Structure 1
Amino acid sequence: MTKKVLILEDARFIWDEEEVKTFVEMWSDNKSSYQIAEVLNCKILDVALLVMDQAEKGKIKQRIRGIV
């Protein structure tokens, strides 16, 4: 039997609505993921997951600089 590996166990999957609103505003203002992480007091990984979620839902648009 192959051993299973749990990934992203330290990632943040629950956000306050106000935090998501702040993220969307900062993303739209072309703030870097590092700046967003600092303001939201989280890791870059958490911001990346939030980017994927909000992009999938059509809440944010793709930007020239990408996820950085």
Structure 2
Amino acid sequence: MEEEELEKLKSMLDVEIDRVEEDGDKLTVYVPEGQAAKAIGSGGSVVRSVELVLDKKLEIEETD
């Protein structure tokens, strides 16, 4: 993942990101425990916005 895309991702999700795994057109973003709901947004609105901007499928996971 390019640095520019990572900065956009951090800005749009508005949570700390522990790590990002990229698998083709899918990104798995690991956020601290308790932050997944904020990263996903109301009704998944944040995830959909990020998917449109980055043109990749996004999955949010919490780390321990």
Structure 1 and Structure 2 fold alike (TM over 0.5): no
Q: Which protein has the larger Cα radius of gyration, Structure 1 or Structure 2?
A: 1
Which protein, 1 or 2, shows the higher relative CO under an 8 Å CA cutoff with sep ≥ 6?
2
Q: TM-score range by the shorter chain?
A: 0.3 to 0.5
TM-score, length-scaled by structure 2: 0.43
